[in-house]
Amino acid sequence: METRRKNAARPLARLLTATFTLAACLALGTPALHAQPAQDTLRIRLNADIRSTDPGINRDANTDAVVSHIVEGLVAFREDTTVGPLLAQSVTTSPDGLTYTFALRPGLRFHNGAPLTADDVVFSWHRYMTPANNWRCLSEFDGRGQAKVLKVEAKDPLTVVYTLDRPSALFLETLARPDCGGAGVYHRSSVGPDGKWREPVGTGPFKLAEWKRGQYIDLVRNPDYAALPGKRDGNTGNKTAEVARVRFVVIPDVAASKAALLSGGVDLIFDVEDNDLPEYRRHPELVMQSMPTMSLNGLLFQTRDPLLKDVRIRRALALTLDVPEMVDALTEGTAQPNRSVIPRASPFYGRAQSGMPGRDIAAARKLLAEAGYRGQTIKILATKRYNSLFDMAVLTQAMASEAGLKVDVEVLDWATMLDRYNRGDYQAMAFTYSARLDASLSYEMIIGPKDRQPRKVWDTPEAIRLLGNSMNTTDRAQRQAMFDSLDARLLEDVPAVFFYSEMRTSAARDYVKGYKGWPMGQPRAWGVSLARR
């Protein structure tokens, strides 16, 4: 079976190879790559610049990754996807589940030397909850989401208390979410007198030194960092900075990034393109490491679109897709197909999630005829920032055409596409979600009221009800039953078609010691040292 799939995928791979050519290595001319690096500088490639340094505000996955080195929250995700303390040394929940008391670790200081206090937690929280600031996770805590935070109080200098309007099984998990900026706590000097963001003054293992837009972000070691004891553990645990400086080098072009690594212009690429793996493996000076992530790639539909609001057309398009063959072609056989929102690595991934509907062109044509489809164009938005998304859109276009569907692909830069996603301004979109480490949070990515949260994909009352129930119970069997029901409804309603979670492969020069990937898929520069000869 495996041999058949790989052989079947070859025409698709040839299609991609014939259709696309690599851009010239323009980034090799940037000063960031030609500059002679210091012996104690770790250089990590980013495929695009960050959007801001404001945690959880004007963000994307690259932004989240960089900011996590600078600003920390009360709690964070561990390697095993559970939540552990970070700035807090303990968390106590009241019997009714409405009050969370965080005892801060004593002796913590911001990068400017000021001590961390409960007042700083309250200050940061109030800024997050100011609607004008557009915090990514405002809707999760202001009454539109799982629970409303009624108040946050500094009980004493090292104790902060959160009060909710109702119990929430995912309150701590949501605080820890990287796309929420980890609800990071920063010193009030991070914000100017006018309320505008200046730069992050956090408690993390690194401090912001310089951001040269479009070229690099330089971080320097925080000499006063108070690391947790023990080992590195997700975004918590021991986060000791072993190098004096980290430079995140912005190299959008894949060929240029490869050349930079091979020439020693950068030390680490944490997200190697799948189709480049064979070439990287031929170089003995590179150390490669693969790790399954809990990210998610798929095709989103705007269910309020005049054409795609007809579920028969969405179902027809889904029936034209041979997902296993697509995933083989897109990932060089490194990833496994998955039509569920729940990643394969999740403990909630079971029999209901593993279903894989087959391709059926005849059934697709029948649905299109019933829907009265007359050749109207379906436009898929894609980006070349992530080659897999562009390739996914093109393969969808080719497969859908066999049933008579007319599909166009429009390529946007990532910032524009992200803005269109947030506004729900598209017909269809090839999209990638960063990892969510709980099944409810995986479904929360796509479920919600579109009127209040335009980025949501699926807003049927039953989906919203099931998601809410899954967030308010801790019984594992009950939660599994809810997720199983959601998966069945997802295949019926088709607000999106999901394809796979990535295998994230890193490639580092052999003098880079201690780098390790994890299910979140983001790079971590703490605990990494250099042994340049």
HSE at residue 116, side-chain half, CA atoms within 13 A, is 31
Split at pLDDT 50, 70, 90, the class of 263 is very high
> Residue 107 region, left (φ>0) first, then alpha (ψ -120 to 50), else beta?
left
Split at pLDDT 50, 70, 90, the class of 25 is very low
Beta-strand relationship, 99-104 and 159-164: antiparallel
Of 33-37, 60-64, 111-115, 430-434, give the lowest mean pLDDT range: 33-37
Q: Dig out the tokens for 321 from the structure.
A: 């897709």
Which of the two residues, 278 and 315, has the higher pLDDT score? 315
Residue 270 DSSP SS3: coil
At 273 the pLDDT is 84
Rounded Cα–Cα distance for residues 165 and 76 (Å): 23
What residues pair up with 152 in beta bridges, in sequence order? 162
Q: Please give the average per-residue pLDDT across 283-306, as a whole number.
A: 94
Please, what is the angle between helix 361-370 and helix 311-319, to 10°?
Answer: 160
At 434 the pLDDT is 83
Q: Which long-range contacts (CB under 8 A, 24 or more apart) does 29-38 make?
A: 30/215, 31/215, 32/212, 32/215, 32/216, 32/247, 32/249, 32/250, 33/249, 33/251, 33/260, 33/265, 33/266, 34/265, 37/247, 38/244, 38/245
Q: How far is CA 275 from CA 90, 217, 265, 317, 321, in A?
A: 45, 27, 21, 26, 21
Split at pLDDT 50, 70, 90, the class of 38 is low
H or E element at residue 237: strand 236-237
Q: Please give the average per-residue pLDDT across 369-388, as a whole number.
A: 95
Tell me: pLDDT of 18 over 90: no
Residue 478 DSSP SS3: helix
Q: Please give the average per-residue pLDDT across 514-525, as a whole number.
A: 92
How much is the CA Rg of the chain, to the nearest whole Å? 23
Rounded Cα–Cα distance for residues 84 and 151 (Å): 23
CB 354 within 8 A of CB 324: no
Type of residue at 66: V
Type of residue at 92: T
Rounded Cα–Cα distance for residues 448 and 464 (Å): 6
At 525 the pLDDT is 98
Rounded Cα–Cα distance for residues 94 and 167 (Å): 10
Beta-strand relationship, 503-509 and 512-513: unpaired
Q: Please give the average per-residue pLDDT across 166-181, as a whole number.
A: 92
What residues pair up with 15 in beta bridges, in sequence order? none
Beta-strand relationship, 286-292 and 503-509: antiparallel
By the 10 Å C-beta count (0-12 exposed, 13-18 middle, 19+ buried), 318 is classed as buried
Per-residue pLDDT tens over the stretch 385-404:
888 899 999 999 999 999 99
Tell me: pLDDT of 533 over 70: no
Rounded Cα–Cα distance for residues 185 and 42 (Å): 26
Please, what is the angle between helix 323-331 and helix 387-401, to 10°?
Answer: 150
> What DSSP designation does 22 have?
P
Kindly list the structural domains of the chain, giving each domain's residue range(s) and its CATH number in brackets, ordered by start: 18-50+201-291+506-530 (3.40.190.10), 294-500 (3.10.105.10)
Q: What percent of the chain has pLDDT over 70?
A: 93
Residue 213 DSSP SS3: coil
Rounded Cα–Cα distance for residues 451 and 136 (Å): 16
Rounded Cα–Cα distance for residues 170 and 186 (Å): 23
Q: Cα–Cα–Cα angle for 408, 413, 416, nearest 5°?
A: 95
Q: What percent of the chain has pLDDT over 90?
A: 79
Of 18-27, 188-197, 292-301, give the lowest mean pLDDT range: 18-27
At 471 the pLDDT is 86
CB 445 within 8 A of CB 463: no
Burial 457-471 (b: 16+ CB within 10 A, else e): bbbeeebeebbbbbb
Residue 337 DSSP SS3: strand
Residue 74 DSSP SS3: coil
Per-residue pLDDT tens over the stretch 63-114:
999 999 999 999 999 988 889 999 999 999 999 999 999 999 999 999 999 9
Rounded Cα–Cα distance for residues 402 and 360 (Å): 11
CB 229 within 8 A of CB 239: no
Per-residue pLDDT tens over the stretch 416-425:
999 999 999 9
Residue 514 DSSP SS3: coil
Residue 225 DSSP SS3: coil
Per-residue pLDDT tens over the stretch 306-365:
999 999 999 999 999 999 999 999 988 888 999 999 998 888 999 999 999 999 999 999
H or E element at residue 171: helix 171-176
Q: Please give the average per-residue pLDDT across 444-456, as a whole number.
A: 93
